Amino acid sequence: MQQLVRGLGTLSLVFILFFCTSGGPYTTETLIHLLGPGLGLIILLFVPLIWSLPEILIVGDLASMLPEEGGYYRWVDRAFGRFWAFQNGWITWMYSLVDMAIYPVLFIQYLRYSRLALIRDSNRCCRSS
């Protein structure tokens, strides 16, 4: 049986971790205000391509090379063993839980801000008439 060549090093794992955990649609509200609509929209169109393209290529390559169910867990298990596969699965699960817990809080904050802005604008309209 041929031995698996381990071509995934520490630097590659650091970049995979970075791309998996540093994304999100929030906090881009000030982009248009700071840069203007033209540059802001260009950035909003090109960042997803630049940001997600490496991860898409990695997942596509690994999924075609190792067509098994289990995704990251199976890939890390095959490359580094069960201990590191467990660590990867556990950390992925934990940051997913934290990440998913952030969105309802952000939604409520946005809703509160929008409601206050609507109330403020309606008060301004009523006073001016």
Residue 20 pLDDT more than 60?
Answer: no
**Any domain includes 74:** yes
56-60 long-range contacts, CB within 8 A, separation 24+? 58/16
The amino acid sitting at 2 is Q
Domain enclosing residue 56, as ranges: 10-100
**Any domain includes 107:** no
CB 8 within 8 A of CB 40: no
pTM as predicted: 0.49
Give the rounded percent of residues in the chain with a pLDDT score beyond 90. 8
**Any domain includes 61:** yes
Give me the sign of the Cα torsion angle 21, 23, 25, 30. Answer: positive
How many folded domains does the chain comprise?
Answer: 1
**Any domain includes 70:** yes
CB 88 within 8 A of CB 73: yes
**Any domain includes 82:** yes
Using one digit for the tens of pLDDT, what is the confidence trace for 74-122? 989 999 999 999 999 999 888 878 777 777 777 787 777 777 666 666 6
**Any domain includes 54:** yes
**Any domain includes 77:** yes
Residue 13 pLDDT more than 70?
Answer: no
**Any domain includes 69:** yes
CB 4 within 8 A of CB 79: yes
